[in-house]
Amino acid sequence: MNKKILLSLVVVFTMLGSVSAQQAFEKSDAALNIGIGLGSPNTTGIGLPAIDMSFEKGIVEFPNVGVITVGGEFGFKYNWEITTLLGNDFSDKYSNFLLGVRAAFHLGFLRTEKFDVYGGILTGTILSIWSSEFNDKNNIDYDSFSSAFTHDIFIGGRIMTSNNFGFFVELGYGGLSYMQGGITLKF
């Protein structure tokens, strides 16, 4: 083979090898997830899906490895339970609010602009407002609230359909739901 052709091929393949795709989440990025959650570690009875919003901003980038993000999360979940015992009805209603901070590591070595795979931790507080009714001849009602420290370890993924819009799914064991999914707005 001609030395000029061989040298040209080496230069072309070297240039192609050095060109890599931008990673899906970079230090300059921020994202807002808005979604619903299914399955709940903190409530019983019948309930509506959890509503959840989280925000994150890239703070540290490790080139070709990934990005560390920090942010916050807010969620809401409503459940109710009706029980009949000895001809009397018991009714309990729960409203749970989650307020927390989260950090995640977004894998950058996948080198794709559309797919974002990440894992992280959340710590915060769940405020529970509980209303109970005991329907007998006295019709006793009472309200209560409590707060509890919570933490979560989660894994997630996003697919970006454009530069600023996509869909996400997260799995975890704490917070308000075991699985959540929805839309992502990236800026």
Residue 124: exposed, middle, or buried by beta-carbon count in 10 A (0-12, 13-18, 19+)?
Answer: buried
Residue 73: how many other CB atoms lie within 10 Å: 22
* pTM for this model (two decimals): 0.77
Write down the domain spans for the chain.
Answer: 24-186
**What is the tens place of the pLDDT at every residue in 8-66?**
544 444 443 434 456 778 889 999 999 999 887 666 667 789 999 999 999 999 988 89
Compute the mean pLDDT over every residue in the chain, rounded to the nearest whole number: 82
Q: Domain 24-186, what fold?
A: Porin (2.40.160)
CA dist 68 and 179 (Å) reads: 22
